[in-house]
Each structure stands twice: as C-alpha cells, then as structure tokens.
Amino acid sequence: MRRVDLFLISCLIVGASVSASAGTGFPAEQRTSRYLDSVRQEPLLLLAFLREIPKGGDLHNHLAGAIYAETLIDFAAKAGLCVDRKTSALLPPPCDDSTGKPPANSALRDPALYNQMIDAFSMRNWNAARESGHDHFFATFDKFSSALNANMGGSLAEVASRAASDHLQYLELMHTADGMQAALLGERLGWSDDFGTLRERLLSGGLKNVIASTRNQLDQDEAEMRSILHCDAPEAGPGCAITIRFLYQVLRGLPREQVFAQILVGFELAQSDARVVGLNLVMPEDWYVPMRDFELHMRMLDYLHGLYPSVHISLHAGELVMGLVPPEGLRFHIRDSIERGHAQRIGHGVSVMNERDPFGLLREMSQRNVLVEICLTSNDVILGVHGPEHPLAIYQQNGVPLALATDDQGVSRSDMTHEYLRAVGAYDLSYTDLKRMARQSLEHSFLPGLSLWVETREFSRVAACEGDDPNANKLSKGCRHFLDGSERAQMQWKLEGDFARFEKRF
Ligand SMILES: [Zn+2]
C-alpha cells in the first residue's frame, strides 16, 4: 500500500474520533488543527501529517547545497571524474588508482569509498568531537562542486521532484547561474573606487555577453530538467508542477572587484530575465573577507539599488553566534542589511538579540514587513543553535513575518517536511502558525504581481476574489481577471485550493 493511503486511513480513523468529540459543524481548519494536536507527541504520525501539509514556497534554497551526495556521486561517475581517496574531493580526469585517484565510478562497486564520499559530501556521520559542524559543512562544497556543475539539469530535476514530494509549489533557488563568468570579468577589469566608472567598464567590457550566455545556459538547464522529468509527456513527473525562479547568488568572500561584478550581473539579470527574480549574497558571513568588506558590500548594494530599484534583494545576515566572531561583529549585520543593503528578506537572522537595540530592530522589521527565512537544521548543524537559543519564537512574538526554509538540504540531509517537524517539535507551533508561514512564503516571494491578501494578520482576500471558491471549476469574472494579472496571486490561489482540499480530509 502506498504511504499516502496509509496516511489517509490513519486520518480517517483519528478524524472520526476527533469529530465525535468535537461535534459536527467545526470549520475544517479547526478540525485539522485538532488533528495536529492529537499527534503532536507521536513523531511518526506527525511526520506523515506534516509531509502532506501544503507548504507554499522555499525561499532560501541553495541549488549547490540541495543535492544529496548519492546523486552527486552518480553525476561524478557519469562525467568521468576522479576522486581523491584521502579527502573524497572530486578531481578532473585522468584518474589513476595507483596514486590514490580512482575514477569516481569505482565508488559504485566499493561500499567503503561510497560511504566515505557521502560522509564527506554531507553532514551524515559528522563527528562533532573531531571537527566543527561549521567547518565540515562549508568544506563539502569544494569537494563535490565539479559533479554539480557537470549536471545542472539533473540537479534542477532533483530539487523539483523533492519539492513536489514535500508539497511545496514554488522554489526560489540561489544559483550562481553565470558559472563565475562575471567574477572572472571583474578580476580582469580590476577595481575603481568610483562605482559608476566600474559599472560602465563592466557593461562595455563584456558583462552583456555574460548576461546573454547565462540566459542561454538557463534555457539549456531547464530543457534538460524537463526532459529528465518527462514534462512534455503524459506521464510527466510531479516535479514538473513546481514553479522555479532564481536568485542570482553573489559570493561575498571573493575580492571586491569580483563581488561588484557579480552584484551587477545579479541586478542586470533580474532586470532582463523573468526567471531571475532577485539576488542574494552568500558564503560564511564570519569569514575574513565577508566581515572585512561588509560595509563596502552594503555600499555597492545601496548604489546599484538606486539604479535598479525594482530588483528584489534578500540577504544572509546574522548567521552568526557569540564566539564565532568578536562581539562587535554581532551588532549590526541584520540592521545594516535592511537599512543600507535594501534587503526585503533576511536569511537566518540568528544573532538578532546580539544586535544593538534588538527590540527596536524587531519593531522595525515588523513595520517594514521584512520576512526572516528560518533555516532550523542548518542553524543547528552549522552554528549549534537550536531550541530556545534560536530566535524563532522572539520573531513570532514581535510580529516579524517568518517562513521555514531548507538552506542546503542535500548537505544537511534534510527536506522541507523535516524543517516543519523540527519547528513543531521545538516551538510547539500550531496548525495556524504553519499555515501562516506557508502563506507568508508566497506573500514574500519575489514573484511579480499584486497579492491575494489585503492584509496578512487575518489574511483577508482582495475584494475581487472574496466570494470565490479556490477549488471551483469556474471563477467570477473579477477574480479571473485579477489572477490573470498577477503571478504571485495565482500561486497564492493555488495554495488556498490545496489547503481547502487538505483540510477536507479531517
Ligand atoms: Zn543560505
């Protein structure tokens, strides 16, 4: 019997007992909420329930960290890469087993090597006594990135399929989609303290070609993904239903001329290609260059935001903890990312209570409607922050919008369902809290168009769709017209339909 059937049967059984005690006529949302409360202490039933909840979007998902090690080994084998037996790092051919560099495909017949590679490419069996989670985590990327780069279409297919099985509908993937061309151009053209000069030099010196070839590459990668998932065939894979958009991923640990070139490509791409909806600055925030150049990066963003005001920005900020950096380094990254870097969303925000005037900052985030992308597994394995040490509940109490996100689910061996599981377990979240976060994920997505909601306290719909049923075959003319004009509202409408169907089961 399929898992879903088992789930439905368990729902029907428990649902029957719940409705008997609750009486009839309870709204579906309340019955669903009672079901969640009835399985709160039963991890396996809770898992089955959370798997099926509609989850909206994953707004903080690095494509390079989303792929499971088993897939990466498969990619490496197909691409003819070699592996260093000692470090598990993938290497370009020619391979030579006699010098400890066998072909990666030999791991498919050698369980010890296979297991060693999985552990090296992820947090599986990570040994906290031997190595910090932070160091092991960030060291994985250099080991496997050549496999990933050799199969971007396959990588997209994997994340889309997993998103479908998690009942997500939308992904905003962080992706350095130009394959480092902008960084190389930036290095070649050098630095100037005058941002205007620097921008002109890049635009006339080859950046436009980088944009064109990046768009071509995205076309190819998407076509490859659709072919792998059989999206044009009757038996199309569930991943085909996932809407994917990209955030251009700037590597903030690179030299300043390269970071500027990447930020500029991010703005230019987002302005010229609807698939790229914004940009984000990534890499360990505590490393030397991101700490040293933080203020410079904010100035770059401030300057370019002035020239491209409609391009969306989300920033990693506050992925820090006391001891990882000096106390002074914990005081300002979140606030500055919002006020000077123009971030509409913050990734992580773990160190918020170490910022200057933290309650003033929380108030400001609530008033400016800045969403925090909450990455619980990642914060636990990289920073060692979990339970009451994590500010999720403080953000919630202070009215800051939140959405759960996976960050690097392949490296951390998680998925969105398990992020929900952690959140419910650690913070006792209610069904209403989870539904709110799913709705907020689409509300704060960077998809274009007006929102379905006039306000997000009670979630009241726009007048045009007020009386419509999201699962009806036919919509009122006004609602149809409204949805046709907004990609964001279309996504939100689909989520409402999914919630209504989900809640009907209880
Ligand atoms: Zn991240």
What domains are defined for the chain?
1-52 (no CATH), 63-149 (no CATH), 152-443 (3.20.20.140), 448-506 (no CATH)
* d(C-alpha 8, C-alpha 5), whole Å: 5
CA of 285 to the centre of ligand 1 (A): 10
Residues 348 and 315 sit within 8 Å (Cβ to Cβ)? no
Residues 312 and 344 sit within 8 Å (Cβ to Cβ)? yes
CA of 435 to the centre of ligand 1 (A): 23
Please list the pLDDT of the chain residue by residue as tens digits (506 residues). 444 444 444 444 344 333 333 333 359 999 999 999 999 999 999 999 999 999 999 999 999 999 999 999 999 999 999 999 999 999 999 999 999 999 999 999 999 999 999 999 999 999 988 999 999 999 999 999 999 999 999 999 999 999 999 999 999 999 999 999 999 999 999 999 999 999 999 999 999 999 999 999 999 999 999 999 999 999 999 999 999 999 999 999 999 999 999 999 999 999 999 999 999 999 999 999 999 999 999 999 999 999 999 999 999 999 999 999 999 999 999 999 999 999 999 999 999 999 999 999 999 999 999 999 999 999 999 999 999 999 999 999 999 999 999 999 999 999 999 999 999 999 999 999 999 999 999 999 999 999 999 999 999 999 999 999 999 999 999 999 999 999 999 999 999 999 999 999 99
Residue type, 463: A
CA of 506 to the centre of ligand 1 (A): 36
Q: Where are the alpha helices (DSSP H) in 229-369?
A: 256-272, 288-292, 294-307, 333-339, 358-368
Helix-strand-coil split of the chain, %, nearest 5: 55, 10, 30
CA of 443 to the centre of ligand 1 (A): 20
CA of 280 to the centre of ligand 1 (A): 9
CA of 272 to the centre of ligand 1 (A): 25
CA 288 to chain centre: 25
CA of 419 to the centre of ligand 1 (A): 14
Phi/psi for 416 (5° steps) reads -65, -35
Residue type, 97: D
